[in-house]
Amino acid sequence: MQLIDQYNRRLNYLRISITDRCNLNCIYCTPRQGFTKLRHKDILTYEEILRLSRIAIKLGVNKIRLTGGEPLVRRGIYEFIPRLVSLPGLEDVSLTTNGIYLKDNLKKLRSSGIKRLNVSLDTLKRKKYQYITGHDGLRQVLDGLSLAKELAFEPIKINVVVMKGINDDEVTDLARLSLVEPYHIRFIEYMPLGASNTVHFSYHVPSSRIKVEVSRPGNLIPVQKSMYDGPAERFRFKGAPGEIGFISPITHKFCHQCNRLRLTASGCLRPCLLSNQEVDIKGPMRAGASEEELSRIFLKTALNKPYAHHVSSLNPIPVTAQMSSIGG
Ligand code: SAM
């Protein structure tokens, strides 16, 4: 049995939010006034995540991304990752982090089996970084990125959420980084997530506009997609060591090729990031469900994956869960 939905999409990619806790408070991700955090006992334990991962792998998942909240704030993460990485049948484990704790932990991450990193960095200006994230941490992130390069993490992707009036004036400078560093700079369209974020749809900048700004330093040459590629359209400036990517979940929906399933920190399966549909799997698991019963929950969730989301600038339906619990 494989995770295949009713539109014949094979879901081989599981994104796991291992905690809803984060050391930053980014304006696009968590409400400034705060939000109710999960109780510790409501967050999946590592043993539970491993059990569900084993089941998912038997059902065809071969790629897992760890995200959050901030995965590197969870105690025990460096002991957990090698256990996950060594699960038979899993081909790729990657991590999305805000990079604050990277520098001091990169060697541990490397030896735990992580090679592919996504680091969120929305600005190169110290004050603006502090405004966006609520923390004066730009230096820490830049130092972490430099060390990641020295330790030959490959690829090192930098996720930039582009927001009108906040950091859209910097996209050319961020793109230029790819001319001197081997980083893949990925410009992501802002998505309205979390009930309180709907008012911010005015942040949204379509990728078509971002692309015009990004093209200023030179022609963007398309790059061939590779095996573990996500939905980014990939480009490179001539001779550049790095790359540019555009991820356009709102204006160029890639739903038709979506191969993702999400496991939230609270133990729910989510077949679509931008839909409120989620299925509790922690409850049945804690109530003693067998592997077969848990497999059935996975299969049914996959089958019911919506064909597409319906969020657009004209239709900003609020997605009520917080990104930190879902994991982005
Ligand atoms: N703490 C980690 C980090 O900062 O990368 C992982 C969690 S974060 C929720 C995962 C990704 O979601 C980040 O790359 C972030 O930029 C993206 N993200 C969060 N809120 C978003 C939004 N409203 N629109 C687009 N991307 C968003």
Distance of CA 55 to the CA centre of its chain: 22
Distance of CA 57 to the CA centre of its chain: 20
Residue 187 Cβ < 6 Å to ligand 1? no
Task: Count CB neighbours of 158 within 10 A.
Answer: 25
- Model pLDDT for residues 121-154, shown as the tens digit of each residue: 999 999 999 999 999 999 999 999 999 999 999 9
pLDDT-derived band at 316, boundaries 50, 70, 90: low
Q: How far is the CA of 293 from the centre of ligand 1 (A)?
A: 32
46-58 vs 77-85: helix axis angle to the nearest 10?
Answer: 20
H or E element, residue 84: helix 77-85
What is the model's pLDDT at position 51?
98
Ligand 1 atom nearest to CA at 160: 16
pTM to 2 decimals? Answer: 0.95
Q: How far is the CA of 62 from the centre of ligand 1 (A)?
A: 22
Residue 29 Cβ < 6 Å to ligand 1? yes
What is the model's pLDDT at position 200?
66
CA nearest neighbour of 2 among 57, 70, 84, 63? 57
Q: How far is the CA of 29 from the centre of ligand 1 (A)?
A: 6
Ligand 1 atom nearest to CA at 70: 1
pLDDT-derived band at 20, boundaries 50, 70, 90: very high
Contact yes or no for 198/179 (Cβ under 8 A): no
What is the model's pLDDT at position 229?
75
- Model pLDDT for residues 202-213, shown as the tens digit of each residue: 888 999 999 999
- The residue whose two tokens read 């050391």 is 23
| Domains by residue range for the chain, with CATH | 13-326 (3.20.20.70)
Residue 7 makes CB contacts below 8 A (sequence gap 6+) with 256, 305, 307
| Ligand 1 pocket, mutate which of 67, 199, 248 (most atoms under 8 A from CB) | 67
CA nearest neighbour of 145 among 131, 160, 130? 160
Whether the predicted pLDDT of 198 surpasses 50: no
- Model pLDDT for residues 74-130, shown as the tens digit of each residue: 999 999 999 999 999 999 999 999 999 999 999 999 999 998 999 999 999 999 999
What is the model's pLDDT at position 313?
61
Q: What are phi and psi of 79, to 5 degrees?
A: -90, -30
Distance of CA 308 to the CA centre of its chain: 19
